[in-house]
Structure 1
């Protein structure tokens, strides 16, 4: 074999090796989501794009399905992390990322991550008695959080968060615009899911709402408010006949 042929084979080998080396050295991107799926409405979601590279001058491109995401009030970016502020059902989709540099190579496109967004369990607040309450009466407000079975029916899921109904703690609020969190006292007693107002007075007449809390996720959503109607009770003295 002539020297020209040997030179041609060597040149082709070097070109082939160079192409393979470029492909092997293309930095890879990995996208991770916090908290773990499913995410619940109202939660903050962080998507982190980790690039396997020694370079630190990456710019990041974020994509939802086939559309590139732009920063906004709901989509904020801190270098390698995209945050979704207050997740909603429409955020449920496929996401992927990649890194960009002014020089080459860019990072490869990450594998897509499927973000699942579900409704929070709901709270319902009921009041007893359900008629006008008179001063001095005992008023019970009960915070009922929907069962796991009903949540499953609403969200079409079958295998998640089976234990949430056993671990709720309850918060109670009075007022609508500037809500005040109620603390237990001689007049406000709490027995798990029920707040009792002992000896109602006219100043207790206001809007009330509740929510459930857990050490894990998800929390319950805020309940619809109730407004007990507390009226003055006419008191008749024993020595005077009441008309």
Structure 2
């Protein structure tokens, strides 16, 4: 038999893929076609060489159903007609790969967005960029899901919250479903403004911090404004800008802020305004009349705020950790004093002629009201701290040479309670402490002796922190450690500590340690963790113990 081998330039064979796909995935169906160029009009028979097959087809099409990786390799064909035979075609390299799992991404990449913002949900198939995919979506709110790889949500609402996943389809082939990405859409947030102090010191500045909750939301820039009618944001000529939404200001005025992110910019609601006062170089003095630092129950005493220098009239502001608050007047007359009046008092003045100017705070003066000087009783608290979480178990134990005890308390609303819910011997056990248990507590013996009084504050916010601080006054020269604690986590790091509203520590340490306490360390303390603040508690500092007479209360003249 004589066959004529045709010149490759006259008639030649070529292998082509029916679909113009650059990437073939396992499980798909493909068709390879052998085309004879220059041999039109003749009836051809075909031969194929292919990997991993002993019986290739004899037609012009080579169809592979549910292709696998083993089908990867070189494919060639040639044709014969009568006595004519083409040469083998050039090799067609077929590469079959496993399809990658799609991924859903967000642009911008914020899983927490707010009503009114615009976000794009995108389906990405790695390695299949050149393929002609049709996309399917499972989405929280899609009545007519798109078939493209992007889903753009314009002016998002809360109903857009939920899980989003996708998969790719090509002919009858489907990729896996992607993992679900959860999108949360919340109400438009309101910025929060925090000031480490509200009075600008003479020649100094005050740091203001703007933030958007929750702290997990990201991408925010902050815009600052001064005075109610100002719509133009502050610039570097008006304040010193720091990172993390902080600025330092040295001018008095009414400040507010808001956050913005995205393009076009999406703005939060404005924060509450905070008044910054200009401090005049005057420090008031708190005096007691009579000048007794300790008085006894039933006596009368006047706490007075004196401002020397400056020919002006003043409005007065008092700050005290006593349970009974002082009025905003120059003096506070206490008639028939009780232990609830004990505490530290300090004051400042605000000019009536210029309500934007204020004095510095005075130094604190400690007033101690003793219920009975013959007392040999004391009260201890376990756990030994001022602040507690709701549902905590707290024990108050009376100590002294007495057989009968009762624990009394003076509550926040001014009521006096005489009995403990569960008194066992000398211990009052509160198994499940409540917000209403916030009060001043003291012990009273059957013979009428009274212990020291202690403050108990109950944190009502389940997720809020508490400040761990000592119940009793700290002796000058002693060391003390303050810390911040959550209900679920006792030791925290990266905590902000404040003393008399001023930020004094902001680093990775979880404790505020004072190695040698002095009188200047006395005052209000609070902590902040992850944008949440504890209540504030007063830490008292006392001098060395002074032995007191155990005789009956002395007679004193009230001046």
Q: TM-score range by the shorter chain?
A: 0.3 to 0.5
Greater C-alpha Rg = 2
TM-score (normalizing by structure 2): 0.22
State the structure with bigger RCO (CA 8 A, min sep 6), 1 or 2. Answer: 1
Hey, which of these two has a bigger chunk of helix by percent? 1
